[in-house]
Amino acid sequence: MRKKIILGLVLFLSIGLIGCGTVTDVLPETKGGVEGYILAPDGETPVIGVHISVAQTTLSTNTNEEGYFLLPEVPTGNRTIIAFKGAFKVEFTVPVIEGQVANAGVKLLEATGKIGLNQGAYDDIGPILTSLGLEYEYFSMDLLEDPNELEEFAILFFECGGGWLLEDSDEADNLKDFIAAGGVIYASDYALDIAETIFPEKITLLGKVGYGDPQDITATVLNSNLISLLGKDTVSLNYSDSPGWNVIESVASDVNIDIKGDIQVYDGLDLETKNDSPLLVHFTHGNGLIILTTFHNAAQATDDMLKILEQMAFGL
């Protein structure tokens, strides 16, 4: 009899322990939230479309036009938040408390490497970078000859009218490898020749006799981030700062057209209208990003153009 009682007690305790384990397994994970703002290094300019994620989870979101983000349903505890866009990134830790939204405050993006600027004769992106709190250094095309030196950079800006001609296939291959490894390049107007040289399957330019005529354009915005930034789906673009400008003839199907418009182009001595011409495009290669624009920063730049150029410094 005593043996039966002891056996029953052991069985009861065993079932209880198993039951406790089962209950523990189905207990809901406690969660809270995280909110904050991601700004440019100047501490003032919001950056839209920054990818925000919680380390070791699948949770993610993007910043809005004010640089604001909100991550709900974040598991409690000290959580690492990763914010990145283009060649910029910032990580920070936030204590998440059950049922509360933790305010991470304002975080500033940081470049993941050096910022290089190939100075041009017409474009002048330098003042925009400076206004955003970004430090940069000038480079010549000789930089592309040395892959080891090139890999110290995170982003390269090729301005219109700079020394942008690729001298040989090694330079083209090095630049392509730089992008594939996560580098970002921005090229404007005449410097679009670089993109056509290394990515002929992605972009075709109209040709030297097909430059656009100086003009003002009301263009259509297709990029959702830019629409949110501008608060509209049209943009005023000015092309009056040079005697002509590079025109994109066509792009591949996997190239994103961010802005398009009807433009006047030369066909020999005659002006013709080219409808829905791509004016701002971007595409990826490996882990990197290529941003190409037919317009650029100049004395005639409109407010819309400056807003777009500021955001392009961080990617699209």
Q: Within its chain, how far is the Cα of 72 from the centroid?
A: 24
Instruction: Note the pLDDT tens digit of each residue in 129-155.
Output: 999 999 999 999 999 999 999 999 999
Average pLDDT over residues 110-131: 92
Number of domains observed in the structure of the chain: 2
More confident: 33 or 214 = 33
Q: Which two tokens stand for residue 162?
A: 């700079």
- Whether 174 and 284 share a structural domain: yes
- Whether 304 and 157 share a structural domain: yes
Average pLDDT over residues 24-47: 86
Pick the last residue of a domain from 63, 92, 110: 110
Return the sign of the alpha-carbon dihedral for residues 34, 288, 119, 49. Answer: negative
Q: Could you tell me if residue 4 is inside a domain?
A: no
Q: Could you tell me if residue 210 is inside a domain?
A: yes
pLDDT at 3 over 50: no
- Whether 157 and 273 share a structural domain: yes
- Domain range for 71: 31-110
Residue 288 sits in a domain whose CATH number is 3.40.50.880
Q: Supply angle C-alpha 22, 26, 32, rounded to 5.
A: 145
What does the pLDDT read at residue 23?
43
Pick the last residue of a domain from 52, 85, 110: 110
Q: Which two tokens stand for residue 33?
A: 């939230």
- Whether 149 and 162 share a structural domain: yes
Q: Could you tell me if residue 36 is inside a domain?
A: yes
Instruction: Note the pLDDT tens digit of each residue in 269-303.
Output: 788 899 999 999 999 999 999 999 998 887 667 88
More confident: 40 or 26 = 40
Pick the last residue of a domain from 85, 110, 135: 110
Q: Could you tell me if residue 9 is inside a domain?
A: no
Residue 62 sits in a domain whose CATH number is 2.60.40.1120
Q: Could you tell me if residue 19 is inside a domain?
A: no
What does the pLDDT read at residue 28?
56
pLDDT at 62 over 60: yes
Percent of the chain exceeding pLDDT 70 equals: 88
Please provide the DSSP assignment of 81-96 as one string: EEEEETTEEEEEEEEE
Cα gap 219→233, rounded to integer Å: 8
Provide the whole-model pTM.
Answer: 0.86
- Whether 63 and 171 share a structural domain: no
- Whether 277 and 137 share a structural domain: yes
Cα gap 310→59, rounded to integer Å: 28
Give the chain's largest Cα–Cα span. Answer: 113
Instruction: Note the pLDDT tens digit of each residue in 142-189.
Output: 999 999 999 999 999 999 887 667 767 889 999 999 999 999 999 999
What does the pLDDT read at residue 14?
46
Contact indicator for 42, 133 with CB cutoff of 8 Å = yes
- Whether 120 and 233 share a structural domain: yes
Q: Could you tell me if residue 288 is inside a domain?
A: yes
- Whether 42 and 92 share a structural domain: yes
- Whether 44 and 145 share a structural domain: no
Average pLDDT over residues 64-72: 96
- Whether 235 and 249 share a structural domain: yes
